[in-house]
């Protein structure tokens, strides 16, 4: 069974954030995800989840100054304390909102930091985050992202992400596999999912090029969905795409999964 979660950072952006929960529910979504909740009160978000009978699948750890170009801080040795503080802020929200997962965006390689320094810092930070999220009963995810959309993003392929996960060696840390990002970086989507389903904690989708709805690009989503369904994947797939037009008119591809 294919379980789709609406990504409220990208979908239903015709309305302000707190109104997107009801929009998602009106289209028969049963779960949501988004980048960050931190500009809103925990209670307001919880109220929207409850009022609309929605499950919170994930949100991201604080990722630095987003407006200034940060896309995570986990590979920056000078921001270790900031990262740790962010873990605890995320867990404060998680204690109320109750997501299944928290995602770590690792960030871009800062000038003056070597690859080996970045890798060591990331592992140290993920060990810290995995221990604290495990105690709170929330899974931790790490996500490789393509370097066309985010130049300099340090973690950009599946093999390196799996190597990091193995070195952290905490079963609470899983892979967030974004089909769109990995199609750009490496392709081989179906085989990669099949070979690593045991370590994939969450998936996300969009077509390529354009990062729009499935069916607008080169990816064979009917076959990808068929394969995922045949493997009895019990997790969620986040719809992290940019609607070509208004969100609702672009949901024809998802109707069989939402009804």
Question: Which residue bears the tokens 């037009």?
Answer: 245
User: pLDDT band at residue 259, thresholds of 50, 70 and 90?
Assistant: confident
Q: What is the tens place of the pLDDT at every residue in 58-99?
A: 999 999 999 999 999 999 999 999 999 999 999 999 999 999
Burial class (CB in 10 A: 0-12, 13-18, 19+), 55: middle
Q: In percent, how much of the chain has pLDDT > 70?
A: 100
Q: What is the tens place of the pLDDT at every residue in 8-65?
A: 999 999 999 999 999 999 999 999 999 999 999 999 999 999 999 999 999 999 999 9
Residues 110, 143, 204, 26: what is their CA dihedral angle, to the nearest 10 degrees? -80
Active-site residue (options: 143, 167, 218, 223): 143
Active site residue 143: yes
The residues with which 45 forms a beta bridge, in sequence order, are none
Token output for 190? 């179906």
Active-site residue (options: 33, 48, 213, 240): 240
CATH code of the domain occupying 4-258: 3.20.20.150
User: What predicted TM-score, i.e. pTM, was given to this entire model?
Assistant: 0.97
User: What are the domain boundaries of the chain?
Assistant: 4-258
Q: What is the tens place of the pLDDT at every residue in 171-186?
A: 999 999 999 999 999 9
**Listed residue (241, 234, 185, 255) closest to 211, CA to CA:** 241
Active site residue 186: no
Write the secondary structure of 169-215 as one string of H (helix), E (strand) and C (coil). CCCCEEEEEEHHHHHHHCCCHHHHHHHHCCCEEEEEECCCCCCCCCC
Q: What is the pLDDT of residue 132?
A: 99
- Measured CA to CA, the distance from residue 190 to residue 230 in angstroms comes to 12
């Amino acid at each position: 069974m294919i379980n789709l979660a609406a990504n409220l950072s990208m979908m239903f952006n015709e309305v302000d954030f707190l109104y997107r929960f009801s929009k998602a529910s009106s289209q028969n979504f049963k779960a949501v995800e988004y980048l960050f909740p931190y500009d809103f009160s925990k209670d307001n978000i919880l109220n929207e989840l409850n009022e609309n009978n929605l499950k919170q699948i994930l949100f991201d750890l604080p990722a630095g100054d987003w407006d200034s170009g940060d896309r995570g801080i986990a590979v920056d040795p000078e921001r270790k304390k900031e990262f740790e503080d962010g873990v605890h802020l995320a867990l404060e929200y998680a204690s109320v909102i109750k997501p299944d997962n928290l995602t770590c965006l690792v960030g871009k390689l800062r000038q003056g930091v070597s690859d080996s320094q970045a890798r060591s810092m990331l592992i140290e930070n993920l060990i810290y985050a995995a221990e604290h999220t495990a105690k709170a009963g929330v899974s931790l995810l790490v996500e490789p992202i393509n370097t066309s959309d985010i130049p300099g993003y340090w973690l950009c392929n599946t093999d390196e992400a799996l190597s990091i996960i193995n070195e952290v060696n905490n079963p609470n840390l899983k892979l967030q596999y974004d089909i769109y990002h990995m199609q750009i970086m490496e392709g081989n989507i179906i085989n990669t999912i099949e070979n690593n389903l045991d370590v994939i904690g969450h998936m996300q989708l969009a077509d390529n090029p354009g990062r729009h709805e499935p069916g607008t690009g080169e990816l064979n989503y009917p076959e990808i969905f068929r394969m995922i369904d045949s493997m009895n994947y019990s997790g969620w797939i986040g719809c992290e795409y940019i609607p070509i037009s208004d969100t609702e008119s672009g949901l024809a591809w998802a109707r069989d999964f939402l009804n």
